[in-house]
Amino acid sequence: MTQEFSAKTQSGWLVLPLLILLLIADIAGIAFTTQLDESLVPWFLIPLLLAGIIILILFGGFFTLEPNESAVLIFFGKYEGTEKISGFRWTNPFNVKKKLSLRTRNFDSQKLKVNDKKGNPIEISVVVVWKIGNTAQAVFDVENQHEFVTVQAESAIRHVATSYAYDSSDSEEFSLRSSLSEVSEELEKEIQERVKDAGVIISEARINHLAYAPEIAGAMLQRQQAEAIIAARTKIVDGAVGMVQMALIRLKEEGVVDLDEERKAAMISNLLVVLCGDKSTTPIINAGTIY
C-alpha cells in the first residue's frame, strides 16, 4: 500500500521573476563577452551558455492546478509526493507530473440480472458516488481507477442482492424493496471495503432500479395482488367481527332486544355478510315479528 505525502514545491509567482532575472543576466553576460579579448571569450562564453541552458530547463518545472485537482510527482520512478495546492506552482523540472481530479464522480451501473435470496431472478442497478482520497494509491496500486471501481461495485451489488429477498415475508425483517436504506448502507460499506486499496472513497451507493426479471414479472404481480387481497380481507373480517361483537354487547346492555342463541347466530351471519361482502347488499325488511 502506497502512502500519500505532500510534495515540496514552490509558488510559481516567486520562482518566475527569479528565473527571468537570471536569464536576462545570462544574456547580458554573453553580450559582454563579445567585447573581451578573443583568448578569454571561451572561458566566459561556455559557462554562460551552459547556465542559459540550465535556466531554460528550469522553466519546465512550472505547472498549474485547478481547485480539487492534484499532481503526483515522480522523479525517475520514485514517488516524490502529491501537490494539492491550486494555482501556479514550480517543482523540479525532471519530475513527471501526473494530474488527478479530486472532484466527486458518479456512475450508474448496468442493469444486472441476479437471483435474490429466494432464487427469484431480478434486475437491479445502483448509482455509486465516489472520489479519490489517496492519490498515491490511485496512481501506483491500480491501473485504472474508474474501471476498478465499476467492476468492484458490480461485484458488490451481486453479493448484496443475493443476501436479501426481493419482498419481505413474516420470517424476514428486511428485503430489497422494503428496506432500501438498510440495503444501500450495507452496499456502500461493501463497495468501500472492496475499493479501499485503490485510494477511493465511496460517498454514497443507492439502488435506482429494482424489478423482477421479465420472465417472472407477470406471475409475481399476480402473487402480490393475491397477497394484497388476502391482507385486505383479513382486515375487513377483523373489523367486522369487532363490530358484530360491539353490536351484541350494546343490544344486551341497553336492553333493546333479548335474542336467543339461534337468533344471535342469524344476526351475526347477516351482519358478516353485509360487512364482509365485496358488493352492495339488498336489505329485506321484516314487517312481522322477529319470531
pLDDT tens profile 212-262: 887 765 666 666 666 666 777 777 777 777 777 777 777 677 766 666 667
Question: Helices 41-58 and 12-33, interaxial angle, to 10°?
Answer: 160
Residues in the chain: 291
34: DSSP letter:
T
Q: Are the beta carbons of 7 and 91 closer than 8 angstroms?
A: yes
Tally: H helices and E strands in the chain? 7, 10
The CA distances from residue 105 to 101, 109, 204, 205, in Å, are 9, 13, 11, 12
CA-nearest of 203, 198, 208 to 129 is 203
Say what the pLDDT of residue 277 is.
65
What is the pLDDT confidence band of residue 168, given thresholds at 50, 70 and 90? confident
Q: Are 56 and 22 in contact (CB under 8 A)?
A: no
Q: Which pLDDT value is given to residue 66?
A: 94
**pTM of the predicted model, to two decimals?**
0.69
Residues 226-237: tens digit of each pLDDT: 666 677 777 777
Among candidates 110, 92, 76, which has minimal Cα distance to 9? 92
Longest CA span, the chain? 147
DSSP string for 180-194: HHHHHHHHHHHHHHH
Q: What is the pLDDT of residue 243?
A: 78
Q: 6: which DSSP letter?
A: B
Whether 98 shows a pLDDT value over 60: the answer reads yes
If we measure between CA atoms, which residue out of 217, 211, 213, 268 comes closest to residue 242? 268
